Each structure stands twice: as structure tokens, then as C-alpha cells.
Amino acid sequence: MLKQARGIAESNRELRRREQRLSVLSRVLRHNIRNDLNVVRGALEDLTGNESLTAAEADLVAAAARHADAVIETAEKARYIQQTIGSSEVEPTPLGPVIERAVEEVRSEHPNARIRTPDSSDQVVLADVNLDIALEEAIRNGIVHQDDPAPTVSVAVSTPASERVRVEVRNPGSIPDHELRCFRERGETPLAHGSGLGLWLVRWIVESAHGTVEFANDDDRTRVRFDLYRVAD
């Protein structure tokens, strides 16, 4: 018993050491990436106003700025994920207000988007308090990956089983195969790198309440499906 207790104590210490190292590494990388790329972004903005640039050079500057913005956004999302996961709580959650908050936030960012929602949803589910963030991310992801100037996304709610509630976000287009492979294999591999953190955030928030997430491509459409436990009346 003493040997087992020592082994458990050592395992706990090692886990705490790893968590501390990951926290420090995450904080330093996010801080450095954000600060350094903000400097790069400022320099690119100065170049954008330079009238001596040729059209080809201006296109290169604009492309560099877009990539810098994407990396800054990823660093910010990593910071948010760390905060979100650290403050994770699970509680009975009315689904209607969650959908309303998520849709309202995305519409404020993408006013030209057409987001279809259920007429009403009175279901109560067991969910992480950040469920609206997961739904918001799924809707936003569906919008930004469409070329249409008025992209379309639909949100549907159903009850496939008495103890389950399903939320489904659908939009034209497809999730790249390499990203789907990441989720099927439950992690990143050298041959299957995801392009960002957004879909991982969706998965972690839903699974924190023992829900499940499915990402799939069906007939030129993308489907992100959350299955959550229903809270009985």
C-alpha cells in the first residue's frame, strides 16, 4: 500500500509539473507571438500606404498582412481557450437563449450572413457554461469558409432520443479532409495538421459536459453536430 501511495503521489507531482510547464510555455509563446506580430502588422500597414509600390508588391503586402492577422487571431484564441478550459463549469442550460446569444454575436460580425434558426427551443441540456461560445464558433466557421458575399448557415434542434438533444449547424462547403482526419484520430499527427483552434474549442466545450461532437461533409454541405444530455422537466 505504501508503494502504491508513493507511486500515486509521484504521478500527481509529475502531472502538476507538466501542467506548470505547459502553462508557462503557452503564456510565453502567446505573449511573444502576439507582440512580435503586432509589430510586423504595423510595418505592413505603413507599407500599404506607400504609393511607390507596384500592384504586385501591394498584393504581396496585403497577403502578408492577412497571414499576420490569422496568426494573431490564433494566439488570441489560444489565450481564450486557456481561460475557458480553466473556468469550465457544467450546469442545466436552457438551449434557446444560448442559440440567441451565439447568433446575435456572429451577426454583429457578419451582418451580410443569413443565419436560419429554429422558431423556438424550450429544451434544457446539461452543458458547459461556455456552450454559446462553441455554437458561436461553429456558426462563424461556417460563414468564413464560404465565398458567397451573403453566406448561409442554418441551426437546427432535434431530439434523436428521449435523453438526448441534438444541435446541428449546416452550411454549404466542406471541412478539409486533413482537419477531419485530426478529429477522427483524436489529436494532431505529423501527417494531419488542423488549420486552427476553433473546432478544437468546440469539441472541448461540448465534451466537458459528456456530450459528443461530429464533424462531417454531406453532399457539398458541412455539418457540425452537438449531442447533449437532456435535462428532464
Confidence of residue 190 (pLDDT cuts 50, 70, 90): very low
pLDDT in tens, 23-53: 666 666 666 777 888 888 888 888 887 888 8
Do 91 and 127 contact (CB within 8 A), yes or no?
A: yes
Do 115 and 151 contact (CB within 8 A), yes or no?
A: no
Residue (of 206, 128, 208, 124) closest to 169 by Cα position: 206
Residue (of 185, 184, 191) closest to 217 by Cα position: 184
Q: Residue 82 pLDDT more than 60?
A: yes
Domain that holds residue 24: 2-86
R_g over Cα of the chain? 21
Q: Residue 97 pLDDT more than 90?
A: yes
pLDDT: is 187 or 108 the higher one? 108
Residue 193, CA atoms < 13 Å, CB-side half-sphere: 3
CATH number, domain of 186, equals 3.30.565.10
Same domain? For 96 and 109 the reply is: yes
Do the bridges between strand 152-161 and strand 164-172 make them parallel or antiparallel, or are there none, so unpaired?
A: antiparallel
pLDDT: is 1 or 133 the higher one? 133
Q: According to the model, what pLDDT value does residue 23 have? A: 65
Same domain? For 163 and 48 the reply is: no
| CA gap 43, 33 in Å, rounded | 15
Same domain? For 170 and 96 the reply is: yes
pLDDT in tens, 11-27: 667 666 666 665 666 66
Q: According to the model, what pLDDT value does residue 38 have? A: 84
Q: According to the model, what pLDDT value does residue 192 have? A: 43
